[in-house]
Structure 1
Amino acid sequence: MDTEALRSFVRAAELGQLQQAAGELGVTQQAVSKRIAALERELEVRLFTRTARGVELTLDGQAFLPHARGVVAGVERAVTAVRPGFRALRVDVLGLRSAQAVVLHDYWRSHPEADLDVVTLRVNDPRVAAAAVAAGDVDASFRTVTDRAALPPGVRMIPAFDSPLELLVGPGHPLAAARTLTPPRLRKHRIWVPGIAPRSEWAEFYDQLTTDFDLRIDAAGPHFGDEVLLDTLADSPDVATLVGARDRYVWPVGHDLRRIPVVHPTWAYPLSLLLPETNPHPGLRGLLTHLTSLPALPGEVWRPSWATSPGLGGPRAVTTAPEGAERVR
């Protein structure tokens, strides 16, 4: 099987655009299309469907992707093993508009000499990401394995930073005019968070948040993407969602959406970093230093049990940090 065809397939799947994949691979879009077509003929299945925005994986393509990614990663490791010097630091994030990607971008802007490769494994189970770190497919991953006993041998997990949550609503929502919101004001409102995946860290996070604050979090329906979610919020007088303060969302001006911080306590989504216990990539040193420089959240902060206990979980905690305190939380 042609490894360059596999590489083209993997990058097209990750980027959703044949043209962008071609640009990264240094070939023409036609070459990428031919490689993928040859791969589909060899497998006797369709791997992609074309859309107005690019390409999307078929069910067969989704099943084939993790295996193809493993083959490509294995080839890259083999090449790296005999190539002088080190490859770029490869860090997994949940999405390119996520808080993790924003923090990585801030790090790169302050250290433009850093050789950084930001990737998205597109897996919901953090244990899969931990396995990718153990295998050397990625050098680090912004994921949290809430049961530390489930970490694979050779992988450690450290706190990275807290991402405070905000309520995102449309202009017709009854809370749209608020500058800040306390948890009691949210109890009777529908908070729609579609696509909460089983076994994911955020599923456990929202379970604990709902229980501790008696919230009405609705995870019904599939997640059709941020655009559909934002359109729904703009048109709805009663639907809201929760987003991270650092997460990047872009919507049309006419949507007039409002991001409202939650305070007293601030709801913090704690981000962790998975990395090897031994022989970490040399580029991790600078990233870890950057993470330790991030300011702690001021005032009262709520975190889930797995972020407030060093073991497998403990009581929920509301902590107070002084204004301007700087440490990794």
Structure 2
Amino acid sequence: MVARLSDKNPVIPGDALIGEMVPPPMFDEVSFDSYIPDPNEPSQAAAVAAARDFVARASKVRGGKRGFFRKSAPPQGIGLYLDGGFGVGKTHLLASIYHSMPEPKAFATFGEVTNLVGALGYADALERLSGHSVLCIDEFELDDPGDTMVVSRLLSELSARGVSIVATSNTLPGQLGEGRFAAADFLREIQKLAGIFESIRVDGPDYRHRDLPPAPEPSSDAALLEQAENTQNATLDSFDELTAHLATLHPSKYKSLVDGVSLVCVSDVHPAADQAVALRLVALIDRLYDADIPVVTSGVKLDELFTPEMVAGGYRKKYLRATSRLLALSRFAETAA
């Protein structure tokens, strides 16, 4: 019998979250040297230079002296913000910075940072991260006013304690939250966040879509079942069962949910019913992409998962990123098959 993600309910000790703050496996071996800038996009070469310079300056901050008197303040951490579209190599550069910095250090998505604070409590999370040389935050998101205030305070206090911060996103720091529900509530905190970062733009086409065909045709239910049964460590869920199960789990568990899975098969896929379902799917897709797990589905094409109304709304960039990643995983499954 094929295993189901819907039957798994991971239990994760809070203190294990710190140890998991590392780049996804696909970025284990990346470096500045392995980033190949597009010759038609000079911003990419400039971004590599800026990232190297950040490492040089941030390393000095952590190793710097605090002065002659005991009460002198620690050196202020520095910040770098890599802004750009999908698939231009921002995460590659972020992971390269992580690998180049001295221990201890941390790499996480914005959601994982907020999950960490929720699991450990603010004071404990601040204390555990305050000795790090750098905190790398991928896909900076401000979807909730409460998260905005907590992360703003956390980054400000970490920076004051000498922790350098580098982040990627698809929106400039002063524009985070624009076009989203209650965006006006974000303004004051966003302005505080914007002052932490030096912004560097990274332009270029999405490498995941370069010379690739449109969304693949969905599989039939019979073929999906056969592929799941013939693939070791594959899972097979119906779309509705999977989305219902995701609603019962905190997103911090999604990473453990797919641990050890080699292939995710989902039958009867249809457009997400509402925003809550869609955002949970985004979180799951991010974890699947981080783990490089191929996806095969039946039902509608994967580029129809998020409705035009959703894509036109405040979470547009998030849904486009998730679609880009999901299509990459489905093509990976086609190649593997």
Q: Same fold, TM exceeding 0.5?
A: no
Higher relative contact order (CA 8 A, sep 6+): 2
Tell me which protein shows more strand as a share of its residues: 1
Tell me which protein shows more helix as a share of its residues: 2
